[in-house]
Structure 1
Amino acid sequence: MSNAELHARRFAAVPRGVANATGIYAARAENAELWDEEGRRYVDFAGGIAVLNVGHRHPKVIAAVQQQLERYTHTAFQIVPYAPYVELAERLNALAPIEGKAKTILFTTGAEAVENAVKVARAATGRSAVIAFVNGFHGRTMMTMGLTGKVLPYKRNFGPAPAEVYHLPFPNPRYGVSLDDTLRALQFLFAADVGPDRVAAIIVEPVQGEGGFNPVSAELMTALREVCDEHGIMLVADEVQTGFARTGKLFAMEHYAAKADLITVAKSMGGGFPLSGVIGRAELMDAVDPGGLGGTYGGSPVACAAALAVLDVIAEEGLVQRANAIGAALHARIEGFARRNDLIPISAPRGPGAMVAFDVLRSRGGHEPDGPAAKALTVRALENGLVLLSCGQFGETIRILVPLTASDAVIEEGMDILEAALGAAELA
């Protein structure tokens, strides 16, 4: 069946509220390549939105899942618990950059993890307010939609946001916001809207994902830790997109001296299978009474088996180091693109490890973002066989989330397609 035929059926059967970045339909995939229903091959620089750090259908992940399928697929951990859940929690507790003893609870989606991190923080502190950041993204459920720092398309028409959610400007020189501006805004917030003694948590992505791959500076993370320590506030690191070797560390929080109290994880942890979790200081995680946390499908045994294999693959194949090597290669190519006059104007690359992005600009040497041109660039790339995503406050950012298991040859092929698309845009 053709992509066009499937697309017509999709619009007849599925609401338009769930958008599609492309009009192609997957038929099969391996590592960093996928083929559509019409047999056309693509290099995948999207990675299922950072889900496929170990690639499509990694053999060790598939083998682990097949073995689990032969045993049982579901019992509900709250009814009949099982070893893969416990083993995964033990491994995450040992690996996560949490001060002291840690505990982990597992869920299904990133938004669910964030929701439950807020619940834990509220139970542990006896407070209810939560502070997040402009351009942060934490999910589409009611609570996480409230935490997300962007109205369109995430909040429009959905009614009042959850109470006691506040936003700070994120330090970003591209948008004219400094670290001092952010810290000053925090003091204004404490003075005008909510006292620090009512704040349960401050939540931050170590690198903003949907917001444009904006890294948190060491200075900001240290300042947030100091504010949290002073006022008894929990620092929550949303590592749903940054986790599992993407940034050149297993957890992005390992780039900082400051440590979070709670870390949310999902996406690449499951290697393509739905799985998320909250890792936190044991005394905080135990603040919730029995029955207050959980979910029917949370910590699926099949997904846990996949996640245990993912952790093995990351260690055995050196994917933390591989992320840094991929990132260096991507930065070098993009820096070259940015210097050329025969390509559309773009910014210098940014982002740690293999979490790399650049902005499409309106003028060479300028700073004004060009969201429509970035979207057009992704369309041209797809026409030439590259799956590429845009993001950012104005849609101006091109983000690269190629699987860390991709070969150098496939990565170079993808960058060659990107280069051609940048040039074709200049000639258009």
Structure 2
Amino acid sequence: MLDTPGLIALESRLGAANYRPLDVVLTEGKGVWLTDIEGNRYLDCLSAYSAVNQGHCHPKILASMVEQAQKLTLTSRAFRNDQLGRFYEELAALTNSQKVLPMNSGAEAVETAVKAVRKWGYEVKGVPEGQAEIIVCAGNFHGRTLGVVSFSTDPDARGGFGPFVPGFVVVPFGDADALAAAVTPNTVAVLAEPIQGEAGVILPPAGYFARVREICTANRVTLILDEIQTGLGRTGKLLAEEHEGIVADVTLVGKALGGGFYPVSAVLATSDVLGVLQPGQHGSTFGGNPLACAVARAALRVIVEEGLVERSAELGAYFLDGLRAIRSNRVAEVRGRGLMLAVELHADAGPARPVVEALRGEGILAKETHGQTIRLSPPLVIERAEIDWALERLARVLH
């Protein structure tokens, strides 16, 4: 049997080097805890980038997955199945959506939204063919496909992958005046994350998205909010858009929609936008498959029945206060909303990578981003005592 160095060497020898994971080999997960092959336990403070909001291997989601896997897993959308309509009904009712289009990964949901709003622009708004523009924000992260990296401002995401897809205009995140100035008659959409996760848990100024909503409405522009990380309870609301009392025309959800068991994403939109898609114009072999729908239905029930949105709001505020109480000359800022938190180190305090490696030694698994930022986003099932346990170790490492 291979040990930790042996398994790491195996990955390095046969796998593409497109990730730089921490050198821990995990074998089991339950709730907020992970166990490596040597039996060491760790508090998960990443939640697979919000994909396991409900905790690892939640028994209710597992039971639904096993039950459905014994009956029917895949038909493709060439036929109907008895889970899809129920999934639509429950997700639409929970999010007050008019139409649902299921996909698999978050990036697929983003690509789907881009296609749909472009088609809407041509067929409904009357933008000249081939001239549609979508406004996006600097520092964005919406996935890794060629279409998505075409409007990324991250040189690592873009470098060497051109030529890129045209039709995107980049403005600073949080600057509503710059966004308003970028709108033209050919603008069909604004695409943004309510909180920029990969950029380092960057929150916009208060009132920003309310103003963006006003700009979009005044100019007949669709507002697309990428809630793949922020949605389904992560920020202390079911959808992060609720913090400013707005409703997007298109909302993208994923990650936690699969409860950590299965890749499930969805485009939630008005009938006006998704109504432009006709048979044969878009689809996915696995999107909306019965196994995915059964898992997603169970994942949503857990969020509601276990009060995970409310837990995120309460315990997120508690965790944030605890982080801000840590006295450390290395910490420049602590920020976040709900259980989507970040610790920013001073530039002269060194990079964040050695800090997350030290946290691993203390039994906490977190991840650095953009050099100086440590992301802290545990599953929403975390308990107050577990937060206290984490704060004690974070204080020790950040001293």
Query: Which of the five TM-score ranges fits, normalised by the shorter chain?
Result: over 0.9
Deviations 1:357-414 (A, max 9, x none): 1211146xxxxxx5x43121111111221101122xx422211110011222322222
Tell me if the contact between 2:347 and 2:372 (Cα under 8 Å) persists in the aligned partners.
no
1:316-395 alignment, distance < 5 Å: 316-337=305-326, 340=327, 343-362=328-347, 372-391=350-369, 394-395=370-371
Q: CA deviation at 1:49?
A: 1.2
Q: CA deviation at 1:258?
A: 2.5
Rounded to whole Å, the distance in 2 between the matches of 1:228 and 1:185 is 10
Give the superposed CA RMSD: 1.6
Tell me if the contact between 2:172 and 2:178 (Cα under 8 Å) persists in the aligned partners.
no
1:42-81 alignment, distance < 5 Å: 42-76=42-76, 78-81=77-80
Q: CA deviation at 1:228?
A: 1.4
Moved more, 153-162 or 49-58: 153-162
User: Equivalent residue for 2:15?
Assistant: 14
Rounded to whole Å, the distance in 2 between the matches of 1:298 and 1:358 is 36
1:26-425 alignment, distance < 5 Å: 26-76=26-76, 78-98=77-97, 102-126=98-122, 127=127, 128-151=132-155, 153-171=156-174, 179=175, 182-184=176-178, 186-187=180-181, 189-190=182-183, 196-272=184-260, 273-337=262-326, 340=327, 343-362=328-347, 372-391=350-369, 394-423=370-399
Tell me if the contact between 2:135 and 2:179 (Cα under 8 Å) persists in the aligned partners.
no
Tell me if the contact between 1:45 and 1:414 (Cα under 8 Å) persists in the aligned partners.
no
Rounded to whole Å, the distance in 2 between the matches of 1:185 and 1:312 is 37
Q: CA deviation at 1:185?
A: 6.0
Give the aligned length.
389
Tell me if the contact between 1:137 and 1:147 (Cα under 8 Å) persists in the aligned partners.
no
User: Equivalent residue for 1:193?
Assistant: none
Tell me if the contact between 1:202 and 1:235 (Cα under 8 Å) persists in the aligned partners.
yes
**Letter paired with 2:380:** L
**Letter paired with 1:121:** V
Tell me if the contact between 2:359 and 2:397 (Cα under 8 Å) persists in the aligned partners.
yes
Rounded to whole Å, the distance in 1 between the matches of 2:179 and 2:96 is 28
**Letter paired with 2:242:** E
**Letter paired with 1:54:** Q
Rounded to whole Å, the distance in 2 between the matches of 1:308 and 1:121 is 27
User: Equivalent residue for 1:426?
Assistant: none
**Letter paired with 1:15:** A
Rounded to whole Å, the distance in 1 between the matches of 2:30 and 2:148 is 32
The gaps in structure 2 that reach 5 residues or longer are none
**Letter paired with 2:373:** T
Secondary structure at the residue paired with 1:34? strand
TM-score scaled by length of structure 2: 0.93
Deviations 1:132-154 (A, max 9, x none): 10111001001111233322x21
Secondary structure at the residue paired with 2:185? helix
Rounded to whole Å, the distance in 1 between the matches of 2:226 and 2:179 is 21
Rounded to whole Å, the distance in 2 between the matches of 1:63 and 1:397 is 37
User: Percent identity between the aligned chains?
Assistant: 31
Rounded to whole Å, the distance in 2 between the matches of 1:134 and 1:184 is 12
Deviations 1:339-363 (A, max 9, x none): x2xx342134222211111211146
Q: CA deviation at 1:216?
A: 3.1
Rounded to whole Å, the distance in 2 between the matches of 1:130 and 1:170 is 14
The gaps in structure 1 that reach 5 residues or longer are 172-178, 191-195, 364-369, 424-428
Deviations 1:32-73 (A, max 9, x none): 111112221111101111111000000100011011011111
Q: CA deviation at 1:285?
A: 0.8
TM-score scaled by length of structure 1: 0.87
Deviations 1:173-211 (A, max 9, x none): xxxxxx3xx513641x45xxxxx1111211010111101
Secondary structure at the residue paired with 1:279? strand
Seen in structure 2, the aligned counterparts of structure 1 residues 16 and 90 have a Cα distance that, compared at 3 Å, is same
User: Equivalent residue for 2:3?
Assistant: 2
Q: CA deviation at 1:104?
A: 0.3
